[in-house]
Amino acid sequence: MKTSLIAIPLISVLAAAPAYADFAINIGAINVAPDDSSSSLNVIEQVAGLPNGSTALAVNSNTQLGLTFDYRIKPNWAVQLIAATPFSHDISVKGSAIDGLKVGKTKHLPPTLLAQYHFMPESQTFDPFVGIGVNYTVFFDEQVDGQLEGALDALSVTGANDVVSLKLKSSFGLALQAGVNVKLSDTLGLHLMLSKMDIDTTGRVQVNGNTVQSVNVSIDPYVAMIGLRWTL
């Protein structure tokens, strides 16, 4: 997905501020469910004698505390910032004889800024919306699993004194969103949303600082949130 597609609507909404004045905070559970795919572990396949293209990486889902901020610029237009406590994901191999082999784990933060269009701003109960924006995902605290270290040692890729590490590159991509705000009182309500985020990274397995396996990974998760909404 091309992030340049959102430049004009997002800039135009931001330029319209601050004609309206409506600020809300949403707090609740937010889940990141990867719709992942990756290039194959070609080096591992070659060393282990596996069929070419038979392996890939899988990333599991994770739920954290979500915190989003809405600023209503005009009755139909708002800007939302999505934040959360750090997500933690396990990374494993899928496919071939080493299916399920644990590669490692990582944490990430995907702050996301969206321009929202609200269809029924005057409704006393339901306020459905769609959004488009950008997310920046930074990965940190990458750790290699003992299963990968054991496999590399068994294949004579590493020795007893070698240091194995895992690195993931940060990502910048498009985000799409749909959801609804449900009003319970003048200040309290419910916030439900589902987003699709474009998160692409390059994972590198390194031995003593040198890359021995590089894999392109498209995480592209669905991000769902349900929470309480306070309008200020």
| Confidence at residue 21, expressed as pLDDT on a 0 to 100 scale | 57
| Confidence at residue 122, expressed as pLDDT on a 0 to 100 scale | 84
How does strand 164-168 pair with strand 200-207?
antiparallel
Q: Which residues of the chain have pLDDT under 50?
A: 1-9, 13-14, 16-17, 19
Element (H, E) at 211: strand 210-218
d(CA 224, CA 130): 14
Give exposure, 171-184, as e/b (b: 16+ Cβ within 10 Å). Answer: bebbbbbebbbebe
Alpha helices per DSSP H over the chain: 7-15, 42-48, 146-154
Element (H, E) at 225: strand 222-231
- DSSP for 33-88, please give it: E---EE---HHHHHHHTPPTT--EEEE--EEEEEEEEEEEEETTEEEEEEEESPEE
DSSP 8-state code for residue 122: T
Cis status, amide bond into 18, omega within 30 of 0: yes
Q: What is the pLDDT of residues 177-204, one digit of tens each?
A: 999 999 999 899 999 999 999 999 999 9
Which domain CATH number covers 154? 2.40.160.20
Residue 113 backbone zone (phi > 0: left; psi -120 to 50: alpha; other: beta): beta
d(CA 34, CA 69): 24
Number of domains in the chain: 1
Full domain range(s) for residue 85:
3-231
| Confidence at residue 232, expressed as pLDDT on a 0 to 100 scale | 86
* pTM attached to this predicted model: 0.87
